[in-house]
């Protein structure tokens, strides 16, 4: 790619970012868009739709930036939770890393790369290849390469120092967050699977006898899980129908109530939709009650077991309960509203098989994704594209067309294909038997991260200049050399990728185009209802992998192509302020992992550093500086030793809370007067929502009264 093509891509994406931010500053003030741009505040009842028209609403303003910036860290933490707080710390950590890297790269390494003469390029400045800004342009054997060698050591030391401080800071926040929290049901509860039920007995009796015998002083109560998949589907149908009925009643529009009862409302006799929906809802209620009666006897060999103290729950969690390790299997219970109830129909063997099937599916998807990667790589090489489509040769040789095709289109197409991956990974993770939505999201996050690193980084690198050397790449001793040959040649693509995908995506996150269109259509057709409005949650499983990919590109290309660093700094600056705004106004936390995503961030940073070191070893060898190549070998070793220390020092705090914290918190609770009330609440916390009585319709005859008492929707 030539410099003018990069500038074209920068200009296009700067224009899009400016357009999105300007439109956002106008549209966010329109009363009709409040559920799009302030959905969290609407859900919490802090703002309501309304207001009169005035000219000021049509003028773009930057007041949202100030409001997003104002809250302190403690205010943001108390408002959005620990997961959101740590999500923002990812941006802060990345900004610190690349500010230091940017200073070294732009003011030290970039001039050295540009002043080299290894690559012959006599064209004028705007038509120069971006390769002259990379380490490939430094002469072989040049002593200037020692500056790159020193920069690798300095940068690694800075990243490890910042990473250690960040891990320590977040660990302290996690402990402080635990101490400040009120008693939560999941802190006192574990999930027990594989319960052996004696012949002639029930799962309920088996759990009661076992825990009263082996945990007599700490056991409190339990709730057996029942097979309710069919019932959950019925309740979902009833809930949707009830929402339609409520909205139809609120409109009070008699002519619109009469429609044809046929395909798409075009055929069949006319009926009163209100009466029709009420009859259907009553029928579903009857089916729900009948199914609830039958489900009561469909026990699953699993139960939520609660204890009187957190320490008692921790003891039961971490010791093997039975002689057979496949029985009485324990794991930490999630928050009650975070439980993914359908999974309980999955047996032990089916869970094991499903993990194998998901692994095969993920591998197959990764292989199939090489097809769009190959298409994208073809677009970055005009000569190859002209070979594929000779009839487009005249068009492709136009200056503007070639710059757009090589500088903008490849990243756009790749991002389009990549947008389908996160929902697919969530679906695959849900089949693995995880007990909560948060675990499904964390698993999907790891899958998306691995998929992204392989298909966006390695596949692009190998499908470019090194595809024909894959067989050599499989030999471990050849990995540094193969990567050193392949990675620098793809620097221009990844610089354009940061600009195209990074900048535009982060601006579109603010603009929320899809939700804006959906809201507009809903308002036109009158299908939206504020009573049933639900704010979205943060898609950590898709956003964290994207952020970590950009961080990997920055670390990897630090000594190879430092020109990428200022573009990354712009991305992280935009991301920090935009996501801070979104977390305060748009996204409402649905669950709390209490910092569970940070170890993934730490591990990906260590991987990025080691990858940089491996490439550096190879590049110094190719540049005829074997001494520098040999002296770089200690870097990955030292980095892995640092990682091992961090894993021993900090990771256990993210896996479980230590006994010191649990006992201190339990003792503090003893002085609270509301613990009996909490225990009463705990008794019903893990009841399956599908088994709760429902009453949507207005019928009051005795045979439709709730089967169970205490709930009415």
Taking 80 as the threshold, does the pLDDT of residue 661 lie above it? yes
Q: Would strands 329-332 and 299-307 be described as parallel, antiparallel, or unpaired?
A: unpaired
Residue 130 contacts residue 563 (beta carbons within 8 Å): yes
Name the percent of the chain lying above pLDDT 70: 79
Mean pLDDT throughout 509-528?
A: 78
Sign of the four-CA dihedral 133, 137, 139, 140: positive
Residue 223 host element (H or E):
strand 219-226
CA distances in angstroms from 667 to 223, 308, 663, listed in the order given: 26, 12, 6
Residue of 264, 133, 241 whose CA lies nearest to 565 = 133
Q: How many CA atoms lie within 13 A of 620 on its CB side?
A: 24
Residues in the chain: 713
Residue entry with tokens 């790159």: 148
> Which residues are within 8 A (CB) of 618 and not within 5 positions of it... i.e. 6 or more apart?
479, 480, 481, 482, 483, 484, 485, 629
Query: Hey, which residues does 331 pair with through a beta bridge?
Result: 191
Q: How far apart are CA 172 and CA 166, in angstroms?
A: 10
pLDDT recorded at residue 697: 56
Distance of CA 233 to the CA centre of its chain: 27
User: Measuring CA to CA, which residue among 670, 617, 602, 688 is closest to residue 235?
Assistant: 688
Q: How far apart are CA 308 and CA 431, in angstroms?
A: 33
Q: Which helix (H) or strand (E) holds 15?
A: helix 3-27
Per-residue HEC secondary structure of 56-93 comes to HHHCCCCHHHHHHHCCCHHHHHHHHCHHHHHHHHHHHH
pLDDT digits (tens, 9 = 90+) for 451-467: 999 888 888 787 644 44
Phi, psi of 620 (to 5 degrees): -65, -35
Span 432-443, pLDDT tens digits: 888 899 999 999
In this structure, are residues 549 and 607 in contact, taking their beta carbons and an 8 Å threshold?
no
Pairing of strands 299-307, 189-193: antiparallel
pLDDT tens digits, 550-584? 999 999 999 999 999 999 999 999 999 999 999 99
Q: What is the pLDDT of residue 613?
A: 96
Please, which pLDDT band fits residue 664 given cuts at 50, 70 and 90? very high
Between CA 560 and CA 135 the distance in angstroms is: 5
CA distance 63 to 204: 58
Task: Give CA separation, 584 vs 24, 249, 502, 544, in Å.
Answer: 16, 33, 22, 18
Integer Cα distance of 622 and 628 in angstroms:
11
CA distances from 18 to 10, 30, 67, 510 (A): 12, 19, 19, 11
Residues ≥6 apart with Cβ < 8 Å to 671: none
pLDDT for 247 equals 65
Cα 416 from chain centroid? 17
**For residue 457, with 0-12 CB atoms within 10 Å meaning exposed, 13-18 middle and 19 or more buried, which class applies?**
buried
Q: Which of the residue ranges 277-281, 400-404, 555-559, 601-605 would you say has the lowest mean pLDDT? A: 400-404
* Per-residue model confidence as pLDDT tens digits over 296-337: 557 788 899 999 999 999 999 999 998 988 889 899 999 998
Residues paired with residue 299 on neighbouring β-strands, in sequence order: 226
| Res 432: pLDDT | 86
Contact call for residues 87 and 540 (beta carbons, < 8 A): yes
- 3-state secondary structure (DSSP) of residue 305: strand
Model pLDDT, residue 701: 45
Reduced to 3 states (helix: H, G, I; strand: E, B; else coil), residue 433 is: coil
* E-assigned strand segments in 288-405: 299-307, 329-332
Query: CA-CA distances (angstroms) from residue 382 to 8, 238, 408?
Result: 16, 56, 13
Structure tokens belonging to residue 688? 């399956």
Per-residue DSSP letter, 253: -
Q: In what order do the strands lie in the sheet with 299-307?
A: 219-226, 299-307, 189-193, 329-332
- Res 600: pLDDT: 94
- Structure tokens given for 84: 């959101």
Other C-beta atoms lying within 10 Å of the C-beta of residue 705: 12
pTM (two decimals): 0.85
More confident residue, 32 or 334: 334
What are the pLDDT digits (tens) for 326-372? 889 899 999 998 988 876 666 667 778 888 999 999 988 888 887 77
For residue 117, how far is the Cα from the chain centroid?
Answer: 44
Tell me what pLDDT residue 372 has. 72
Burial class (CB in 10 A: 0-12, 13-18, 19+), 660: exposed
CB 613 within 8 Å of CB 635: yes
- SS3 readout for 306-322: EECCHHHHHHHHHCCCC
Percent of the chain exceeding pLDDT 90 equals 41
Q: For residue 582, what are the contacts with CB-CB under 8 A and spacing of at least 6?
A: 509, 510, 538
Q: What is the chain's mean pLDDT, rounded?
A: 82
Q: How confident is the model at residue 708 (pLDDT cuts 50, 70, 90)?
A: very low
- Cα distances from 230 to residues 290, 360, 569, in angstroms, run 12, 29, 50
């Amino acid at each position: 790619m030539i410099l003018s093509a990069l500038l074209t891509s920068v200009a296009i994406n700067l224009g899009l970012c400016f357009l999105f931010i300007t439109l956002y500053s106008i549209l966010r003030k329109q009363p009709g868009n409040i559920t799009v741009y302030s959905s969290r505040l609407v859900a919490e009842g802090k703002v309501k739709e309304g207001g009169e028209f005035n000219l000021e609403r049509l003028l773009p303003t930057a007041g949202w930036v100030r409001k997003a910036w104002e809250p302190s860290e403690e205010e943001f933490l108390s408002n959005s939770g620990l997961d959101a707080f740590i999500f923002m710390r990812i941006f802060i950590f990345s900004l610190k890393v690349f500010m230091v890297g940017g200073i070294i790269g732009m003011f030290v390494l970039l001039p050295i790369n540009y002043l080299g003469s290894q690559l012959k390029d006599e064209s004028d400045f705007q038509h120069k290849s971006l390769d002259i800004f990379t380490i490939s342009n430094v002469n072989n054997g040049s002593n200037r390469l020692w500056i790159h060698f020193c920069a690798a050591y300095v940068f690694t030391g800075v990243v490890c120092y910042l990473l250690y401080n960040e891990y320590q800071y977040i660990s302290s926040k996690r402990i402080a967050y635990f101490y400040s929290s009120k008693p939560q049901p999941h802190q006192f509860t574990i999930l027990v699977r594989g319960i052996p039920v004696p012949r002639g007995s029930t799962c309920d009796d088996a759990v009661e006898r076992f825990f009263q015998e082996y945990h007599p002083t700490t056991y409190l109560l339990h709730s057996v899980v029942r097979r309710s998949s069919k019932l959950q589907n019925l309740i979902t149908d009833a809930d949707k129908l009830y929402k339609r009925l409520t909205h139809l009643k609120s409109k009070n529009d008699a002519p619109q109530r009469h429609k044809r009862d046929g395909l798409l409302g075009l055929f069949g006799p006319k009926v009163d939709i209100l009466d029709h929906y009420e009859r259907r809802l009553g029928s579903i209620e009857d089916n729900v009650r009948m199914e609830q009666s039958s489900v009561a006897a469909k026990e699953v060999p699993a139960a939520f077991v609660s204890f009187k103290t957190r320490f008692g729950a921790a003891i039961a969690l971490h010791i093997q309960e039975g002689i057979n390790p496949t029985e009485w299997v324990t794991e930490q219970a999630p928050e009650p509203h975070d439980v993914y109830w359908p999974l309980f129909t999955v047996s032990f063997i089916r869970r094991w098989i499903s993990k194998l099937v998901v692994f095969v599916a993920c591998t197959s998807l990764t292989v199939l994704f090489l097809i769009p990667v190959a298409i994208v790589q073809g677009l970055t090489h005009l000569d190859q594209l002209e070979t594929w489509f000779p009839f487009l040769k005249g068009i492709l040789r136009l200056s503007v067309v070639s710059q757009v095709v090589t500088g903008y289109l490849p990243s756009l197409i790749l991002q389009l294909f990549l947008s389908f991956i996160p929902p697919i990974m969530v679906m695959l993770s849900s089949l693995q038997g995880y007990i909560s939505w948060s675990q499904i999201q964390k698993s999907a996050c790891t899958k998306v991260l691995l998929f992204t690193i392989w298909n966006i980084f390695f596949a692009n690198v190998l499908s470019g200049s090194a595809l024909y050397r894959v067989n050599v790449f499989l030999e471990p001793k050849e990995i540094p050399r193969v990567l050193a040959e392949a990675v620098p040649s793809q620097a221009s693509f990844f610089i354009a990728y940061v600009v195209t995908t990074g900048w535009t995506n982060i601006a579109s996150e603010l603009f929320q185009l899809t939700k804006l269109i959906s809201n507009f259509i809903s308002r036109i057709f009158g299908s939206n209802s504020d009573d049933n409005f639900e704010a979205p949650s943060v898609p950590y499983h898709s956003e964290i992998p994207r952020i970590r990919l950009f961080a990997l590109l920055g670390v990897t290309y630090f000594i190879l192509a430092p020109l990428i660093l200022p573009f990354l700094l712009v991305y992280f600056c935009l991301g920090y302020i935009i996501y801070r705004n979104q977390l305060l106004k748009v996204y409402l936390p649905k669950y709390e992992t209490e910092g569970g995503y940070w170890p993934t961030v730490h591990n990906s940073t260590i991987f990025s550093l080691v990858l940089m070191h491996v490439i550096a070893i190879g590049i110094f060898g190719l540049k005829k500086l074997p001494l520098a190549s040999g002296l770089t070998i200690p870097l990955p070793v030292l980095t892995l030793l640092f990682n091992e220390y961090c894993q021993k020092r900090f990771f256990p705090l993210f896996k479980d809370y230590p006994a010191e914290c649990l006992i201190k918190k339990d003792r503090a609770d003893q002085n609270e007067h509301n613990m009996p009330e909490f225990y009463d609440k705990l008794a019903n916390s893990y009841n399956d929502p599908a088994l709760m009585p429902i009453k949507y319709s207005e019928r009051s005859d005795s045979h439709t009264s709730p089967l169970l008492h205490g709930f009415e929707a």
